[in-house]
Structure 1
Amino acid sequence: MTQIILENARVFDGVSEECPDGMSVLVEGGTIREVSDRPIRADDVRRIDVAGKTLMPGLIDMHVHSYFSDLDPRVLNDRDAPYRTAYAIKKLGHALDSGFTTVRDIGGGDYPLAAAIADGLVRAPRFFYAGKILSMTGGHVDYRTPNEKHHTHGYCSCDAMNWAGVIADGVDECIKAAREELRRGAHCIKIVASGGVMSPSDPIWMNQFREDEIRAIVQECVERRTYVSAHCLTSESTRRSVEFGVRCIEHAAQIDAETAAFVAERGAYVVPTMVCLYSLVEQGLEMGLPGDRMDKLRAVYDDSMAGLDVMRSAGVKLGFGTDLLAGFYPQQTREFTLRREVFSPLELLRQATSVGAEILMQEGSLGCVQPDALADLIVVDGDPLKDVGLLAAEGQHLDLIMRGGDLVKNRLG
């Protein structure tokens, strides 16, 4: 089995503010075997001199949509699986080159894509997926316009599903839909619990799914030892979701201080997605986003940065997510630039490593540098604890990227 020793490294372990110098890390196969403050003795091993640069866990993006190749979700259904897959390959490859060794596809990703990645057919980060998003009729993933009278494009849960989601109304349909996605290998279940920007017929302030429906979905996930994540833009939708057992909130752009305190008290997580909002506000119209969606977008955008500060003050545990759609995915690392207006570099590094691993229920395996963890590592040319902008350059300042013990990139010789 191949052994690699990364030596003479400054190590950020995913949590600690202190980053000791002169460290050595032994990787065997796809696992970290030893982390030592002394040189590691081993025969027939490849040694890589990190030269005092920062070795840290690979980054984790907790909110991607691998197949979302157009701002109009309806267009994607007509493009069909081969086109969506080609887009996903390009997008995920870019994520890996930017230092993201793990992603969570939180709507649309599926078993065939996950299997292709696991079998080495697709060059991509480690891949967790939520399968199809669960939406009620008229909810955020019901992309029919008000002019359409019937379920089309596979939106009916009794027939077929569209590329991104499934409609489920009532407890029985919600249970069946959740069980189906879990059967197909989903690592968690995503629901939409408030209105959204990309859907045509639901106002942002609208709460979605009844309490009994949400609790039923949560219970199905508890039985599978996993969790529910919910799309929530408003404070009300966030609070009720967490109250009903949802473990992770996506976006929470309009959260208030009282709700943030409640989320923190319950130990739930939030994954803000700033770069998606900013990129769409800047270029959405020229990329074809309809005017009515732009109005909804601006309403969320105006509150988004204040929401970050509110959650930081309340002590909410935040993951790192981007939610970039269509041709915006090359801006993935810009999320660091936007968040550093509110968070310290240490807080940001934790969000993008160890907190993401917690949400994924992968503590000790991902988001850390310690024995028995998976060997997903990056080497930064500089100190990101002093300048987190080093991570905001699409991988330009990364001298080494390792995923599962394999060297994806190596400029260290």
Structure 2
Amino acid sequence: MFTCVSAESNSEGGVRGCLCHRPEIQTLTRRIDAQLSRRGFVAGAGASIAALGLPGRARAQAATEPPRPIVFTNFLLFDGKPGAVREGLRLLVEGGRIKSVAAGDQPAPEGARTIDCGGRVVMPGMIDAHWHSVFAALPVSSLFAADVGYIFLAASAEAERTLMRGFTTVRDLGGPSFPLKQAIDEGIVLGPRIYPCGAMITTTGGHGDLRPLQDIPRSPGGPLSPMEETGGAMIADSADEVRLRVREQLLQGASQIKLVGGGGVSSPRTSLDMTTFSEPELRAGVESAGDWNTYVAVHAYAPQTIQRAIAAGAQCIEHAHLMDELTAKLMADKDIWLSIQPFLGDEDTGVLTGQSRINQLQVFAGTDTAYALAKAHKIKTAFGSDLLFSSRLAARQGVMLTHLSRWYANAEILTMATATNGELLAMSGPRNPYPGKLGVIEENALADLLVVDGNPIEDIGLIAAPEKTLALIMKDGKIVKDTLTVPRP
């Protein structure tokens, strides 16, 4: 897989200018060539990343020198909570955390770096509560046919673009994202924090069951289909199978679980009125996740599907674009989270065909009603984009957030994409891969923040053009973009 294009021997018998002859690379190449097949999609990619053993630049530097404290001055602060921006503050970041947010001219720690924000707005890094890290940017044809190495290279490139759009955290709602998360966390590639659910768990014929017909019939307890072996989705047709599949995802490091309660837009053999899992099957998943002290999010559009999920104990509903008044009231009464996406038209999804087109138009038609019901009943509502299978659409992540201006004030939108989404992430409890507070700028919160060239509370459209308006991006106390002290070309 890796080939040497230029190698020059040095005095120690090694090479300069090329890493191909390093023992680690040679071992990795042999391992990938021998073991990495589509049937080993998740395990192979994870093993390959782990086998590399080469520290990322950030980790290598951290091992030799502690990061300098950073003091931000001369800014307006939106801290993620409701209320107007504040001024006259100094913000100290140290050791990946917000050390202090204080008024007055506080002295900087010895050796600290000071950044003058020039009166710009400082806000928390944004959170996308419904993202698919591996599936966001590649077309379906590539996901089914391309080499697994290419798929993960493309996913890592999209992860960096996601971070550069100001989304410092995503909740991954389906896909083999565990290896990518590991690579990001270890500093091998740039990307957002990932809260993974692993494979979405669905029934035979449910949303996410994209098996070719020659893989049917399925024998319970039999071998996995090639689709399942990729780690994108797992089939479960009994309460016992649901328990097994939930536990497998938790074993791999899932922070929450996704169960598919009905049909979906991108599955052309399903319709949105379908309900798939029975209540006992859903309850088995909820109980298994509860045993690990985390929660289940249920993919559901139709009222009866949502109501069945709530009866089974689900704490979060994904989508719900077809919900009615009774269902909205039930969600509010039971304090259930709604993770919904503001799909308005073809520009947000592309034009689909067949049954997928019928489903797509139903979602567009239901979006306005669903948000109106969520507001009227004060349902806890999270923002997610759920953009799939296109790098062009994935780039609209910030644009999707601006769609919320149809129903919310700008400050409410920013709060939803920061502090509110942070509350949803915290529901994973001890399964939280990043212990600490996200989505807010306050003492001891995790240091993910943006410096915006303009005031998004006055103009939410600034979020739609991150390449122009995000002057600085910080994740985990490390600056990953800086045009304040490094002039733009």
AA in 1 matched with 2:73: E
Specify which structure has the higher proportion of helix: 2
Return the offset for 1:16: 2.7
| Cα distance in structure 2, aligned partners of 1:196 and 1:156 | 25
1:310 and 2:373 equivalent? yes
| Cα distance in structure 1, aligned partners of 2:343 and 2:161 | 16
1:382 and 2:465 equivalent? no
Give CA-to-partner distance per residue, 1:27-50, whole Å, 9 cap, x none.
Answer: 012111111011221222100111
1:127 and 2:190 equivalent? no
Return the offset for 1:150: 3.6
Return the offset for 1:135: 0.3
Show the 5 A alignment for 1:265-304: 265-275=333-343, 278-279=346-347, 283-284=350-351, 289-304=352-367
Show the 5 A alignment for 1:105-184: 105-144=172-211, 149-151=216-218, 157=224, 161-184=229-252
| Cα distance in structure 1, aligned partners of 2:77 and 2:116 | 13
Match of 2:442 among 370, 374, 378: 370
Show the 5 A alignment for 1:315-330: 315-327=378-390, 328-330=393-395
Asked if the contact 2:418–2:438 (Cα under 8 Å) also holds between the matched residues in 1, the reply is yes
Return the offset for 1:292: 2.9
AA in 2 matched with 1:178: V
Runs of at least 5 residues in structure 1 that lack an aligned partner in the other structure: none
For 2:325, the equivalent position in structure 1 comes to 257
AA in 1 matched with 2:196: Y
Match of 1:358 among 403, 423, 433: 423
1:332 and 2:397 equivalent? yes
| Cα distance in structure 2, aligned partners of 1:242 and 1:227 | 12
For 2:477, the equivalent position in structure 1 comes to 405
For 2:164, the equivalent position in structure 1 comes to 97
| Cα distance in structure 2, aligned partners of 1:377 and 1:297 | 35
Return the offset for 1:234: 1.6
SS of residue paired to 1:173: helix
CA RMSD, 1 decimal: 2.2
1:394 and 2:466 equivalent? yes
Match of 1:15 among 81, 84, 104: 81
Asked if the contact 1:145–1:200 (Cα under 8 Å) also holds between the matched residues in 2, the reply is no
SS of residue paired to 1:340: helix
Return the offset for 1:337: 2.4
Return the offset for 1:144: 3.2
TM-score, with structure 2 as normaliser: 0.78
Asked if the contact 1:375–1:405 (Cα under 8 Å) also holds between the matched residues in 2, the reply is yes
| Cα distance in structure 2, aligned partners of 1:321 and 1:276 | 14
Residue 267 to residue 157, structure 1, CA distance change in 2 (3 Å) = farther
1:201 and 2:264 equivalent? no
| Cα distance in structure 2, aligned partners of 1:299 and 1:16 | 33
Return the offset for 1:341: 1.0
Percent identity between matched residues is: 34
For 1:235, the equivalent position in structure 2 comes to 303
| Cα distance in structure 1, aligned partners of 2:166 and 2:156 | 16
For 1:345, the equivalent position in structure 2 comes to 410
Asked if the contact 2:269–2:355 (Cα under 8 Å) also holds between the matched residues in 1, the reply is no
TM-score, with structure 1 as normaliser: 0.92
Give CA-to-partner distance per residue, 1:188-207, whole Å, 9 cap, x none.
Answer: 00011111111132221011
Asked if the contact 1:390–1:397 (Cα under 8 Å) also holds between the matched residues in 2, the reply is yes
Give CA-to-partner distance per residue, 1:124-183, whole Å, 9 cap, x none.
Answer: 01111110000011111111366863459xx96488534410001111110010000000
Return the offset for 1:401: 0.6
Larger Rg: 2
Asked if the contact 1:104–1:127 (Cα under 8 Å) also holds between the matched residues in 2, the reply is yes
Bigger drift between 127-136 and 193-202 goes to 193-202
Residue 62 to residue 233, structure 1, CA distance change in 2 (3 Å) = same
| Cα distance in structure 2, aligned partners of 1:147 and 1:304 | 36
Asked if the contact 1:7–1:39 (Cα under 8 Å) also holds between the matched residues in 2, the reply is no
Pick 1 or 2: higher relative contact order, CA cutoff 8 A, min separation 6: 1
AA in 2 matched with 1:313: A
